[in-house]
């Protein structure tokens, strides 16, 4: 999962312009991380690093600043930074496309609450990509196992074939020895 909760705010005054919560996540367990995200919005300023990750046990807050807008994703600790920032970059592109020219005119909190639908779509797309990647990885693992098993079977076949050849040679040698043994028995 890319983000449990996403908050979009304005740099400078920290006005929350949009927010979204993952439908699968309980709202109660995200109250504290959301409060931290809102505090972070108020503390960030124009000289802040353009992106960073902040530990907020049991979660991590990843933020991205672009064009006077702050994008915050509250994620599980297991979510990689690369994945979180890719998600935030996608959110930033979508938000700027829809509201880029109206950011400075926003006067009330959650002015662009309808962006929640777009955020849900972004989360859904990220999930589908993650599931496809997981499926491809699992298929690759199965392919590797099959290939190893086939190689093992082929090696056993070669071993059996060489063993049969040895047995075949020994039986030929045994057949050759048998008349000689009879001849020796007759002579004695």
CATH number of 5-137: 3.30.450.50
pLDDT at position 125 is 52
Q: What is the mean pLDDT of the chain?
A: 77
Nearest 10 degrees: Cα torsion 174, 177, 179, 182: -110
176, pLDDT greater than 70: no
99, pLDDT greater than 70: yes
The mean pLDDT of 42-46, rounded to a whole number, is: 92
21, pLDDT greater than 80: no
pTM as predicted: 0.63
Strands (E), the chain: 5-10, 16-21, 51-56, 59-66, 69-76
The mean pLDDT of 71-94, rounded to a whole number, is: 90
Band of pLDDT at residue 150, cut at 50, 70 and 90 = confident
Q: 88 burial class (0-12, 13-18, 19+ CB within 10 angstroms)?
A: buried
Band of pLDDT at residue 128, cut at 50, 70 and 90 = very low
> Which tokens belong to 114?
């309808």
Angle between helices 81-99 and 115-187 (to 10 degrees): 150
């Amino acid at each position: 999962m890319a983000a449990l909760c996403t908050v979009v705010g304005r740099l400078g005054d920290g006005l929350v312009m949009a927010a979204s919560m993952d439908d699968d996540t309980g709202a109660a367990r995200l109250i504290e991380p959301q409060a931290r995200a809102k505090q972070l919005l108020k503390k960030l300023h124009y000289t802040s690093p353009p992106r960073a990750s902040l530990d907020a046990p049991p979660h991590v807050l990843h933020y991205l600043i672009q064009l006077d807008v702050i994008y915050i994703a509250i994620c599980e600790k297991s979510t990689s930074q690369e994945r979180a920032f890719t998600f935030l970059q996608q959110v930033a592109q979508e938000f700027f496309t829809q509201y880029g020219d109206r950011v400075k005119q926003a006067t009330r909190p959650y002015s662009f609450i309808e962006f929640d639908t777009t955020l849900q779509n972004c989360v859904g797309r990220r999930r589908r990509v993650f599931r496809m990647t997981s499926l491809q990885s699992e298929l690759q693992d199965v392919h590797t196992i099959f290939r190893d098993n086939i190689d093992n079977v082929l090696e056993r076949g070669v071993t059996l074939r060489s063993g049969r050849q040895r047995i075949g040679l020994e039986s030929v040698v045994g057949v050759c020895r048998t008349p000689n043994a009879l001849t020796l028995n007759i002579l004695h």
